[in-house]
Amino acid sequence: MATVTLKPTKVPELMFEGYSITPDAFAGKTPAQIADLPGHEGKIVMKLGDFFEVTGNAGDTAADTNIVINGDCTRVKYIGARMTAGSVTVNGNTDMYLGGWMKGGKIHVKGNVDSFCGIQMQGGELVVDGDAKNHVGCAYRGDWRGMKGGTIRIKGSAGNDIGTFMLGGTIIIEKDAFIHVSTHAEGGTVIIKGDVEGRVGGQMVKGDMYVLGKIKFMMPGYQKVGTVEKEVDGTKATFDHYIGDLGERHPKSKGEIIYANLYLKAAA
Amino acid sequence: MADGELIVKGGYVVDPTRKIDGEVADIAMKDGKIVDKVSSSAKVIDAKGKVVMAGGVDVHSHVAGPKVNAGRLMRPEDKLLSGTCRSGMAQKNGYRMESGFSIPSVFRTGYEYGRMGYSFVMEAAMPPLLAPHTHEEIHDTPIIDEAALPVFGNNWFVMEYLQKGEVENTAAYIAWLLKVTKGYGIKVVNPGGTAAWAWGLNCLNLNDNVPYFEITPAEIIRGLIEANEYLGLPHSMHLHQNDLGNPGNYKGTIDALKIAEGIKAKNKFGREQVMHSTHLQFHAYGGTTWADFNSKAKEVMDYVNKQKNITIDLGCVTLDETTTMTADGPFEHHLHGLNHLKWTNVDVELETAAGIVPFVYDPQSKVCDIQWAVGLELALFAKDMNRTFITTDHPNAGPFTRYPRVIKWLMSKKAREATLGSFKHKDKVIEATNIHGIDRELSLFEIAQMTRSGPAQCLGLKNVYGGLAPGMSAEVAVYDLNYKNMPSDPEKIEAAFQRAACFIKSGEIVVKDGEVVSNGHKKTVWVNVKMPENPQVTRDVTQAFTKGTYTMNLINYPVREYLAPHPYVIDVDVEA
Ligand SMILES: [Zn+2]
């Protein structure tokens, strides 16, 4: 394994689109070649070297390449987007689209991230130690094909529209979330360990949701069908089991209608 | 450029209007027109070893107007992976950014047609009430000349006049509407069916009753053909048939085509057909369900081949993710029920409706593959390529940017077999279609008929577009294909037609080596019918606006001059 270190040297005037900051783009390149990789600032094509000092070595392949960013990337978008292997560690915050469309490898952000992290993710692991803004693991605007695989873990809280149109994979929010969880989802699992304001599972066709805190406003399209014991991400608890969204179409399997499941931790 | 003089030298000329098939010749141009010769100071374009054709003519494409724009708004994801939204071109040459795949932005629309060497495109369905928007978009689309067909097949005035057998009043109303909307001709979409949709119904059969109007689709079709010939319009009645896209619809399709039997074209534009039946691919299906769905392209083309007063376009499925959009409102609702994707539905007062649904023509789906075969089979069974035109009903069966791929499939059995061989359900597709057994490969001459001379004549524009005879507009496309030595690799055919080596639009070089080098000087083409005022029609139209049947005032209805600032008006005189 080889490690490339990026040190931010200049705050972009507009947001910098760091879509080249991936193990795939770095693999097999020298620091000078990496500094020469493109990125947009507005409509102008800039170079990574305009905003970062590049040191260290890349591996021969993406899988052999670790990227460490030492500093703040609050104005850098698309870090790790579309990566297939290797790792990216950010010792700071990042802007939008962190790990969007990623297929493999691991991203670890030690600060907070803006919106659209893990959008339409297909595989790999994305961990954020701080908070995430909106649209964690959701579909691209307008698209009906959301996150398909992989795991997103937000150790802080998240905003609205989590797992919209989700088809597979797992999203874990360790603290609270705001509104719109798994809207339109047809698969996958969302676990919220804190409280949610509401609109959980609206128009959801299939898939699972776990809420370990409280839901302030339940969707009217969910019906309680029982109580179950479950272990979720290391927590064992009793859950009220709801199915829904009853206002949405649902597929049939072996003659049985398949609903989405909401497991809400039962009051002690 | 001396006095606007240009000469394309030494190419293999393919021009069906003059029966020229691969002759090495020069094409001279002066002041926007093709001429016999030019002075020695003319700018020379070397076309040696390349194919030279007239600019392409597209008879049916949805490229401007409210439903196209609603499609763009509805599908931001269509722009995400569209490739050239950040093409170097915008920055390199100072041209406009391009975006969108199945519903490209107006700039991308103009640039892509230009790169393919196309001169003219017909916007195939303009809701009259929203004609101003349609013309604004047309004006904003660079390079290509455009016209638009207002829709009449579900129009209340038309249905009321025709129900009473009043062809003359229908014609007078059409003449008025073409003038105020700057329209080109008569488009008919699911006649009666879209009007029935306002009641939540449809007309799948030619003899179904249209609720309230007490008329049938067959009567609307026949009446509009008669009105068209009464006026002597450059184009014929242009029909999107009833029962689109359903298994077993081919019988109804042939019955609708039969309505044209015995009617003769009357016009001074050299048009021979009285009915253009569009995107026939969607109307040539056998079977009773999606399970026994199969191709009836042969049966439909057997009829088309012997009936000389009909023209058709293919509507080829290109196996892409695209966006369907049509004035066939009930069909879009039906489609939404099949694929569960997002759906837009709009009603346009007394005139029409529209629906939009994204659609993925998945190569792993047997049904989509059969549709793909049907579109190509129609062309391969056609006997008269001057009556058979290449379209994808853009964007319904695929984007217009796939015409080069359709050409590749039509010119190369090897290319068809390669696509067929990639299907998961190949054997079932072969069983349900004829494509595997067809060896025919179309020639460049036949492709030029289908994309140049044929559609130009069908639209009554054969003196302007579609050929390279002196006096015609200087529309010349040069393709990097050696007529004498066509590539054995079909991919090279597609590549050559995708990016013209050179394209001259109205005497100006707009594309060089596949890249746009000028925004050109596009024109809006419309038809101005001159006939004596018809007092009853004037009274009926005025009342519809004053009595509140329309939600707007008559004075606000017409398309203002500034929306079509570069008009090319075709006058039609109707005697009293
Ligand atoms: Zn159409």
Under an 8 A CB cutoff, do A141 and B76 touch? yes
What pLDDT score was predicted for residue B92? Answer: 65
Q: CA torsion sign, B155 to B161 to B162 to B168? A: negative
Question: Is a pLDDT exceeding 50 seen at residue A88?
Answer: yes
The pLDDT value given to residue B548: 84
Identify the residue whose tokens are 């989405």.
A260
Q: How far is B342 from chain A (nearest CA, A)?
A: 9
The answer on pLDDT for B135 being more than 80 is: yes
Name the minimum distance, in Å, from the CA of A143 to any CA of chain B.
5
Closest in B80, B86, B341 to A144, CB measured: B341
Instruction: Give the mean model confidence (pLDDT) for residues A13-36.
Output: 97
pLDDT of B3: 55
Contact: B86, A249; criterion CB under 8 Å: no
**CA-based nearest residue in chain A for residue B90:** A43
What is this model's ipTM? 0.89
- Average pLDDT of the segment spanning A247-263: 95
| Alpha-carbon distances, residue A180 vs A164, B208, B269, B417, B448 (angstroms) | 8, 46, 60, 48, 54
Q: What is the pLDDT of residue B82?
A: 67
Closest alpha carbon within chain B to A146: B77
How many helices and strands (H and E) does chain B possess? 20, 24
> Is residue B1 very low, low, confident or very high in pLDDT (cuts 50, 70, 90)?
very low
Q: What is the dihedral of CA A171, A177, A180, A183, to 10 degrees?
A: 10
Quick: pLDDT tens for B97-106. Answer: 888 999 999 9
pLDDT in tens, B467-492: 999 999 999 999 999 999 898 899 99
Q: Mind listing the pLDDT tens digit for each residue in B265-280?
A: 999 999 999 999 999 9
CA-nearest residue of chain B to A248?
B340
Residues of B in contact with A142 (CB under 8 A): 74-78, 342
Residues of A in contact with B96 (CB under 8 A): none
pLDDT at B2 over 50: no
Check if B74 contacts A (Cβ < 8 Å): yes
Percentage of residues of chain B with pLDDT beyond 70: 97
pLDDT for the residue numbered A20: 97
Check residue A268 and give its pLDDT.
Answer: 75
Q: Which DSSP string do the residues of chain A spell out, in sequence order?
A: -EEEEEEE-S--SS-EE-TT-SHHHHTT--HHHHHT-EEEETTEEEEGGGTEEEEE---SSGGGEEEEEES-BTTEE-TTTT--SSEEEEES-B-TTTTTT--SSEEEESS-B-S-TTTT--SSEEEESS-B-S-TT-PPTT-S----S-EEEESS-B-S-BSTT--SSEEEESS-EEEEESTT-EEEEEEESS-EEEEETTT--EEEEEESS-EEE--TT-EEEEEEEEEETTEEEEEEEEEE-TTS---EETTEEP-EEEEEEPP-
Domain ranges (residues) in chain A: 2-218
Q: What percent of chain B has a predicted confidence (pLDDT) above 90?
A: 94
Tokens of A80: 């790790």
Q: Which of A141, A164, A184, A203 to mutate to test the interface with B (most CBs of B within 10 A)?
A: A141
How many angstroms away from the CA of A253 is the closest CA of chain B?
Answer: 18
Q: A134-169: per-residue pLDDT in tens?
A: 999 999 999 999 999 999 999 999 999 999 999 999
Q: Is residue A24 within 8 Å of A86, Cβ to Cβ?
A: yes
pLDDT digits (tens, 9 = 90+) for A94-106: 999 999 999 999 9
Calculate how close chain A gets to B514, using CA atoms only, in Å.
23
Instruction: Indicate yes or no: CB of B77 within 8 angstroms of CB of A40.
Output: no
Probe site for chain B from A144, A186, A203 (most B CB atoms < 10 A):
A144
What's the rounded Cα separation, in Å, for the pair A130 and B109?
45
Cβ A150 vs Cβ A130: under 8 Å: no
pLDDT score recorded for residue B562: 95
Q: What is the DSSP letter of B351?
A: T
Facing A142 at nearest CB: one of B76, B91, B340? B76
Q: What is the mean pLDDT of residues B111-122?
A: 97
Q: Do B340 and A249 touch (CB under 8 A)?
A: yes
- Residue B89's pLDDT band, with cuts at 50, 70 and 90, is low
CA distance A44 to A40: 6
What type of residue is B221?
Answer: I
3-state secondary structure of B40: coil
